């Protein structure tokens, strides 16, 4: 498993943070350039944000996208849920998954995954979009958190 979240979720956070950092209507092309995301993929991601009611759109010259609320009124958890569908760390705990694992009641690892999901959701729901604005790489340059084998 490479990670809990797909590029869709990561790009959703970056796109929403970009909109939060810029006043007024922002063109998708500008967001794509600043965030180094393909415009075509960004259109898919922003469509999910629009469907969730997190961004408004306006066509024409001077149009683009903007947030529908203040940055501090969005949790990172809600943005990721809109992009990913769930914050569950494993598919058997994904409430949007229609297939129920037949081993769920007897699985020796389910409590670990359930606890990880709760901790992850709690953390992401405690952080807002405002926390991302003007705070790139705040913890330093070391990105990898995995311990070597």
Residue reference for tokens 């469509």: 47
Is 148 within the bounds of a domain? no
CATH classification at residue 102: 1.10.10.10
Is 146 within the bounds of a domain? no
Mean pLDDT, residues 97-120 taken together: 77
Angstrom distance (rounded) from CA 1 to CA 38 = 24
Q: Note whether 131 and 77 are within 8 A (CB).
A: no
Question: 3: number of CA atoms within 13 Å, CB side?
Answer: 9
Query: Domain range holding 113?
Result: 7-132
Q: How far is CA 58 from CA 3, 47, 84, 100, 133, in A?
A: 35, 13, 25, 41, 23
pLDDT over 60 (residue 142): no
Helix axes 39-51, 76-84, angle to 10 degrees: 110
Q: Give the percent of the chain with pLDDT over 70.
A: 79
Give the pLDDT of residue 92: 67
Is 58 within the bounds of a domain? yes
Is 2 within the bounds of a domain? no
- Split into its structural domains, the chain has a count of 1
List pLDDT tens digits, range 37-83.
999 999 999 999 999 999 999 998 888 999 999 999 999 999 999 99
* pTM of the predicted model as reported, rounded to 2 decimal places: 0.82
């Amino acid at each position: 498993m490479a990670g809990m979240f797909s590029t869709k979720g990561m790009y959703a956070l970056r796109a929403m943070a970009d909109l939060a950092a810029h006043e007024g209507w922002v063109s998708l092309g500008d967001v794509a350039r600043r965030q180094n995301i393909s415009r075509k993929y960004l259109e898919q991601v922003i469509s999910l944000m629009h469907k969730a009611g997190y961004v408004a759109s306006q066509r024409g010259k001077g149009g683009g996208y903007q947030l529908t609320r203040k940055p501090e009124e969005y949790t990172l958890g809600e943005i990721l849920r809109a992009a990913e569908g769930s914050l569950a760390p494993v598919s058997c705990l994904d409430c949007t998954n229609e297939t129920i694992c037949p081993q769920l009641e007897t699985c020796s690892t389910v409590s670990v995954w359930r606890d990880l999901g709760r901790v992850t959701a709690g953390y992401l729901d405690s952080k807002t979009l405002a926390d991302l604005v003007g705070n790139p790489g705040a913890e330093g340059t070391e990105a990898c958190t995995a311990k070597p084998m």
